[in-house]
Amino acid sequence: IKAIESPNKDDDTQWLTYWVVYGVFSIAEFFSDIFLSWFPFYYMLKCGFLLWCMAPSPSNGAELLYHRVIRPFFLKHEAQLDSVVKDLKDKA
């Protein structure tokens, strides 16, 4: 997330955004997969969702989810997340 928010925009922001959204989706899916896999067409909907997230269009799903959900949450809890990462880094 810090690479996306950096002032240097020479990097490929679209793909960084996609991978952040994909990572958050994977974590959420890890805990809910046992329940969601029982729904019909779950895997087809999951594939469609991921295609929508990586589509190079103005209505890119990853950009929409990042700017409306993930970024506000991250900015609100940035100091807490940084301290957790620092503690983990120090323990490692």
C-alpha span between 15 and 34 (Å, rounded): 28
Residue 36 reports pLDDT greater than 80: yes
Q: How many CA atoms lie within 13 A of 77 on its CB side?
A: 9
Per-residue pLDDT band at 1 (split at 50, 70, 90): confident
Whether the CB-CB separation of 16 and 5 falls below 8 Å is answered with no
Q: Return the exposure string of 13-52: e unless at least 16 CB atoms fall within 10 Å of the residue's CB, then b.
A: eeebbbebbeebbeeeeeeeeeeeeeeeeeeeeeeeebee
How far apart are alpha carbons 48 and 39 in whole angstroms? Answer: 15
- The whole-number pLDDT of residue 56 equals 83
Query: What are 59-86's pLDDT values in tens digits?
Result: 889 999 999 999 999 999 999 999 999 9
> Tokens for 32?
């809910």
Domain layout of the chain by residue ranges: 9-91
Residue type, 58: P
Per-residue confidence (pLDDT) for residue 91, from 0 to 100? 92
